[in-house]
Structure 1
C-alpha cells in the first residue's frame, strides 16, 4: 500500500490491473478527457522509477474504484498528476483522492510542486482543481490532437509546497 484515505486504499498497480486501467480510460464517459495508453505503455509505467501507476480500492468492498498515474521528476522536485480516472463520479472521490495525493507528494515524496494539465472542456475537473486551491498557470492552445482529429486546449494547474502548507 502507498497511502490511504477515509474511504480508499491506494496501492501500486501490477500487470494484472492493466485491463481495468485500460477499460476505464476507454469508457465512453472518460475517453474524451484522458489519454489512452497502450498495454505496453502502461506496463512501462509499472516498471518505471519515475512513473507511478496506482489502483484505488474501496476500503469496505475491496472493489477497484479508480486509477491514478503520476510521475515525479527528482531533479526538479516536481510531482505531476498525469491521469486520474474514477469509476463512479460525483461522490467526492476526486476531491478525497487528490487531497491525499497532495499529502503524499508534499509530505512523503517531498515535492516542491504538484501540477497537472486538464482539457478546457472538462468542467467538473477544472472546478475541482480550483476548489482544492490549485492555481491556473495558463492554457496550452491546440496542444493535443484527439482521436477524432480535433485540436484540444489544455489548462495547466499547480500548487506549491508553500501554498499547500498554508491551506
Structure 2
C-alpha cells in the first residue's frame, strides 16, 4: 500500500492491472479528457524510476475504482499528476483521491511542487482543482491535437509545499 483514505486503499499497479487502466482511459466518458497510452507505454511506466502508476481500491469491497499516473522529478522536488481516472463519477472519489495524493506528495515524498495539466473543457476537473486550492498558472494554447484533428488548450495548475495546508 502507498497511501489510503477513509474509503480507499491506493497501491502500486502491476502488469495485471494494465488492462483495467487502458479500459478506463478508452471509456467513452473519459477518452476526450485523458491521454491513452499503448500497452508498451504503460509497461515502460511500470519500469520507470520516475513514474508511479497507482490503483485505488474500495476499502470495503477491494474492487478497483480508479487509477492514478504520476511522475516525480526528484532533482526538482516536483510531483506531477499526469492522469487520474475514476470508474464512477460524481461520488467524491476524485476529490478524496487527489487530496490524499497531494498529502502523499508533500508529506511522504517531500515534494516542493505538485502540478498537473488539464484540458480547458474538462469543467468538472477544473472546478475540483480550484476547490482544492490549486493555482491556475496559465494556459497552453492549442498545445494538443486530438484524434479528430482538433487543437485543444491545456491549463496548468499547481500547489506548492508552503501553500499546502495539512488536513
Over 2 Å off, 4+ runs: none
Unaligned 5+ runs, structure 1: none
Provide the residue aligned with 2:76 in structure 1: 76
The question of 1:40 aligning with 2:54 is answered no
Specify whether residues 149 and 74 from structure 1 end up closer, same or farther in structure 2 by C-alpha distance, changes over 3 A only. Answer: same
> How large is the RMSD of aligned CA atoms in angstroms?
0.9
Unaligned 5+ runs, structure 2: none
Provide the residue aligned with 1:109 in structure 2: 109
Supply the distance in 2 between the matched residues of 1:44 and 1:56 (Cα, whole angstroms): 20
Provide the residue aligned with 2:123 in structure 1: 123
SS at match of 1:88: coil
Contact conserved, 2:103 with 2:166, CA < 8 A, in 1?
A: no
**Cα distance, 1:58 vs structure 2:** 0.4
**Cα distance, 1:159 vs structure 2:** 0.2
SS at match of 2:110: coil
Supply the distance in 2 between the matched residues of 1:11 and 1:114 (Cα, whole angstroms): 19
Provide the residue aligned with 1:13 in structure 2: 13
The question of 1:52 aligning with 2:22 is answered no
SS at match of 1:133: coil
Provide the residue aligned with 1:25 in structure 2: 25
SS at match of 1:6: coil
SS at match of 2:133: coil
Q: TM-score, normalised on structure 1?
A: 0.98
